[in-house]
Amino acid sequence: MDLRSGEAASKLVRDWEVDGIAVVKSAREAVDGFLSDREAMKLSEAMMRKYRHVGAEIKARFGDRRFASITPDEIRAIRKDWRLAAITAQKRMEIVRKFFPFCVDAEWIEKSPARLVKMPTAKYDPTPPFSDEEMEKILWAADSIREAHPKIPAETPKKLKALVLLMRHSGADLDWQRVTVVQSEFSLSTGEAAA
């Protein structure tokens, strides 16, 4: 069954409708409906691969079984079988958690069995600060950037060096935060905003 078009997905849902209430006979049909909806949303191929992977996992586990009979314990069993890094398990569980509420909204099931399943926990190790030697190399690179890129404005090395020092002494980390710089005019003598 080709479900790559929105028209095919709509036809599948219409076929499921009985007396105004959508009925899904199996987990396989629910996954097919969910995936066709995601494809109609024009998601990236990388994201669709993740959805298909989780869909295949649900189909393999539950197949043609009556969809409404899936329990939270069975969702926990799926999570337990994952041999993944904690962050990857969290991302995969997010997809599972999107799938079941979609099915509730489509009135294929009354409540989501995934709602009662907790997310896997992930612990992040903080990035250690740069050593003095590493900081010296970074500041040297900021000072000498115009040698490699002569078209860069003359004030750029000074601004870059200031940003690096600000980040080091404020604890800002580019890996985890987005830095937004708002340009303003300041008087160098008073440090107050110029009129």
pLDDT band at 18 (very low <50, low <70, confident <90, very high): very low
Tell me: the pLDDT tens digits for 128-161?
777 888 888 888 888 888 888 888 888 888 888 8
- Residue ranges and CATH numbers for the domains of the chain are 6-116 (1.10.150.130), 125-195 (no CATH)
Residues 78-105 have a mean pLDDT of 91
Percent of the chain beyond pLDDT 90? 28
Residues 34-39 have a mean pLDDT of 93
| Pairwise CA distance, residues 91 & 53, whole Å | 12
pLDDT band at 10 (very low <50, low <70, confident <90, very high): low
Please give the mean pLDDT across all residues of the chain: 79
Rg (CA), the chain: 26
Q: Beta-strand (E) ranges in the chain?
A: 17-18, 21-22
Q: Evaluate whether 179 touches 172 at the Cβ level (below 8 Å).
A: yes
CB atoms within 10 A of CB 155: 8
Distance of CA 2 to the CA centre of its chain: 27
DSSP assignment of 11-48, as one string? HHHHHHEETTEE---SHHHHHHHHHHHHHHTT--HHHH
Segment among 16-25, 58-67, 167-176 with least mean pLDDT:
16-25
Residues 48-59 have a mean pLDDT of 94
| Pairwise CA distance, residues 104 & 97, whole Å | 11
What's the pLDDT score for residue 185?
46
pLDDT band at 177 (very low <50, low <70, confident <90, very high): very low
Q: Which residue has the higher pLDDT, 18 or 168?
A: 168
Residues 6+ apart with CB under 8 A from 40: 5, 6, 9
List the structure tokens of 185.
Answer: 């005019």
Residues 6+ apart with CB under 8 A from 176: none
Residue 71: closest CA among 103, 108, 117: 117
Is 186 a residue whose pLDDT tops 50? no
Residues 6+ apart with CB under 8 A from 152: 145, 146
